[in-house]
Copies of this chain bind each other. A is one copy, B any other.
Amino acid sequence: MIDESIKLGLHVKIGEYVIIEKNVVIGDNVVIGHHAVIKEGTIIGNHVIISDHSVLGQFPVSNKKMARKPPSQLSPLVIGNSARIGSQCVIFRGTTIHDGVLVGDAAAIRENVTVGKNSIIGRNVMVENNTFIGEHVTVQTSSYVTAFMIIEDDVFIGPCLSSSNDKYMSAGNGELIGPILKRGSKIGNNVSLLPGVTIGENAVVGAGAVVTKNVKPNEVVIGNPARPMRQ
């Protein structure tokens, strides 16, 4: 089970029925839960906890219908120091999880994503490919972060966000433009973001709002479609 190409740090605790593939690097004081699968080449820092049944370093797949094939080459998944990865997570190759990040149970993070220091990716959150998430960001349970989204530092996203990036619902030329959430903005629960909208710095989007246009810095919007709240 432990191939000689694997670099194992000191005081690593490995659960039962764990699979560690070739060329994996594991730092000191790491805990790996039962039934975890650490795929080829994954790099794990010090003091990381990975809970049961998680799959780290997965390679994307595709079928005939997919317009955009996944990249054939991806850098290894990197998990920073003191990160915590929940149970039953799937995290892909090509992604970097920075120090101190918490990834909740059953969350999935696809290829070429960056998650900045100390951010929280909640339980059952789905993060699609090529998304940038800054530092000290919170993404609460069951939120959906679409591909090519930019989430700056200190953003708060409540539960059940729904975001999108394809204005033509796969009938256009295939250009994808993810929403941009500027620093310190706050998104209530069950908000819908349309492709390419920008939420300004420290703006607030109320629960259940459907955001079809850009929101100015410090503005508070509510409703379907979202409009500035009368003060």
Chain A residues at the B interface, C-beta cutoff of 8 Å: 1, 15-17, 19, 33-35, 37, 49, 51-53, 55, 58, 61-66, 82-84, 86-88, 90, 100-102, 105-106, 108, 118-120, 123-124, 126, 128, 136, 138, 141-142, 144, 146, 156, 158-160, 162-164, 166, 169-171, 186-190, 192, 194, 204, 207-208, 210, 212, 222-225
Contact = CB atoms under 8 A, between A and B. Distances in A.
Contact of A101 (B16, B51, B63, B207): B63
Contacts of A66: 102, 120
Given A159-B146, A159-B163, A87 B126 contact: no
B207 A164 contact: yes
Contacts of A225: 208, 222-223
Contacts of A190: 162, 190, 192, 210
A124 B64 CA distance: 20
A162 B164 contact: no
Given A159-B163, A223-B224, A102 B62 contact: yes
A63 B120 contact: yes
A64 B100 CA distance: 7
5 contacts: A142-B144, A156-B170, A160-B162, A162-B208, A223-B225
A105 B128 contact: no
Contacts of A55: 51-53, 87-88
Contacts of A105: 58, 90, 108
Contacts of A86: 61, 90
Nearest to A119: B65
Nearest to A21: B34
A178 to B, nearest CB: 12
Contacts of A210: 190, 207-208, 224
B61 A34 contact: no
Nearest to A63: B102
A34 to B, nearest CB: 5
Given A52-B37, A210-B207, A87 B102 contact: no
Interface centre among A142, A162, A224 (most CB of B within 10 A): A162
